[in-house]
Amino acid sequence: MTQATLRQAAPWHALGSARLQALAALLALAVLVAFGWRDDGLWFLGDAPRHLLTGVFIADLLRAWPADPLAYALGYYARYPVIVPLVYPPGFHLLEGLAFLVLPVSPWVGKGLVVLATAAMALYAGLWARRWLAPQAGWAAALLVTMPGVMRYGNGVLLNMPAAALGLALLYHVRRWLDTASRGHLAAAIGLAVACVLTYYPALLSVVVALVWALPARRWRLLLGWAALLLVPVIGLALLPGELAPAHLLRNLPALGKLRDAQAWLFYPRALVELAGWPLAALAAIGLVAGLRSERWRSEARQLLLGLLVVVACLLPLPPVDVRYALPALPLLVLAAMIGPLVWSARRPHSANWTWAVPAALVPALALQSFLGPRPAAIVGHDQVAAYLAAHGRADGVLYAGGQEANLGVYLRAGDPTLQARLVLASQLLWAAEAGPGFERKMRPLVDGPQAMLDRIRSHCGCRWVAWEVRTDSKLLPGEQQLRQLLESPAFEPVASFALRSPGSPRLDLFRARFEPGPVPARDLRFPFFTDRVFPAVLPLGLPPP
């Protein structure tokens, strides 16, 4: 049955209306925003606030345009030691930086960019479905947005959603180029491949899928030639931190030895079901099976199945760390889910009107599933801590002991346009983090005993405040136990407690030193997870030399 016959056979032909589907996608995006309305997007502990602050750093770097960017970055890190300008490719951070040139520092800027990336991914999913499947299949756009994984990671300042959106756009333009041999689509595909590499290393999954799809075409050599010409230097630039950060890259590199672990084979297939939601995952499986058995849709089903298999095959040798690395496969899943109704409608034209009500009804069903299911554990309360510190001494440094220092750093910097505030990490001043096997971290104390710790704070910190993050886990490291004893001594006085809505940390206690803090010393900066190099005697940016 042709698409024209299918449209005529359905009394509910309005379900194939592009306007109706666009409205549904916009409503789905509104639901996504409502899902995370009370969350600033920094809930992914460690990564999300660092991604945001690195964008702020890029904006400050562009404004200052220093003669020595490395010295500027080191001085900035000495004041806000929670930026990561060399750990990830710079694409998203640069986009954030451009936004922060005109917008105030706020987590909602980074979160807004992620929502826009999600909207772009939905747009491409709808265009794909309407062009290569059927007009009614444009419901893929709204379905994609309401997937549990998209609802979750579309509300976090993370690189995964922008990378997934760029990956789908890349595959769309590769497909258009394969169909039409248009140089415009080829140029768009190559540009998007470059953008993928500059955004996130796992985005290379989409590049691999594009190359595999292009193999049967006679023009694939041209694609590889242009891709090699443009991608090789870009990949070299993106992997440049590998010279500076071998520990960070080595622990994320694929290893064939992981394939001997049965759990590795199950982790990412399960991740796809978790991210898509079991109703849509089941519909995708039905669509692939039905498509492979249908002469009309066999080619489309094969291509989508091949893309999914390539993504999973590339994920299997990676460390089974987080389900979000499988996000690039979600657009392929939702497109596969559209094939089942197509096959059913072609075989039973008289029931076609009810067939397309199923994908349309799945949109509110998946949204409801996300709202009723577990949500990201939002981290709330650090904005109040930053406001208190700004009101009682904006230029006073604060020593932070805990795991959510980057969240406080975001709000400190948001209220510190002239770079007067300063954040010092206990994990760098009092004990040192060292890279262990895999993703483990080992903590080595730098001082022994509360008195030695006090002497170090007096001579190496220059902080008036100490922020102690109370944990529900009562097991403290030896260095943490000594710091807690010191904070209960006459050298410090408790001044305030702030409720934190965060996993594992119900409260943050703020202490003030009873002694006058000494001058801010120059410190040697070390980055044990990234390089063995030591950067000696670095002063926080903005402070004059002693």
pLDDT digits (tens, 9 = 90+) for 186-214: 889 888 988 998 898 888 889 889 888 88
Q: 257 and 185: one domain?
A: yes
Q: 346 and 415: one domain?
A: no
Higher confidence at residue 393 or residue 185? 185
49 occurs within a structural domain = no
353 occurs within a structural domain = yes
Listed residues 349, 372, 395: the one ending a domain: 372
Q: Tokens for 73?
A: 């970055």
Q: 434 and 484: one domain?
A: yes
Lowest pLDDT segment from 83-87, 173-177, 276-280, 477-481:
477-481
Q: 19 and 145: one domain?
A: yes
pLDDT of 520 strictly over 90: no
Sorting pLDDT into bands at 50, 70 and 90, what band is 243? very low
Q: Which pLDDT score, from 0 to 100, does residue 170 have? A: 94
500 occurs within a structural domain = yes
Q: 339 and 447: one domain?
A: no
Q: 366 and 391: one domain?
A: no
162 occurs within a structural domain = yes
231 occurs within a structural domain = yes
Q: 127 and 196: one domain?
A: yes
Query: pLDDT tens digit string along 277-306?
Result: 888 899 999 999 999 998 888 999 999 999
Handedness of CA 80, 82, 85, 86 (dihedral sign): positive
65 occurs within a structural domain = no
Other Cβ atoms less than 10 A from the Cβ of 130: the count is 21
Query: pLDDT tens digit string along 528-543?
Result: 666 677 888 899 988 6
Q: 417 and 273: one domain?
A: no
Listed residues 338, 372, 406: the one ending a domain: 372
Listed residues 372, 406, 428: the one ending a domain: 372
Domain count, the chain: 2
Q: Which pLDDT score, from 0 to 100, does residue 142 have? A: 93
Task: Give the separation between CA 492 and CA 288, rounded to whole angstroms.
Answer: 65
506 occurs within a structural domain = yes
- The answer to whether residues 350 and 367 touch, using CB atoms and an 8 Å cutoff, is no
42 occurs within a structural domain = no
Q: Tokens for 229?
A: 């010409």
Task: Give the separation between CA 296 and CA 3, rounded to whole angstroms.
Answer: 11
Q: 316 and 417: one domain?
A: no
User: 411: domain range?
Assistant: 382-538
Q: 362 and 417: one domain?
A: no
pLDDT of 238 strictly over 60: no
Q: 198 and 292: one domain?
A: yes
Work out the burial of residue 426: count CB atoms within 10 Å of its CB; fewer than 13 is exposed, 13-18 middle, 19 or more buried.
Answer: buried
Tell me the sheet residues that pair with 497. Answer: 509
Q: 360 and 392: one domain?
A: no
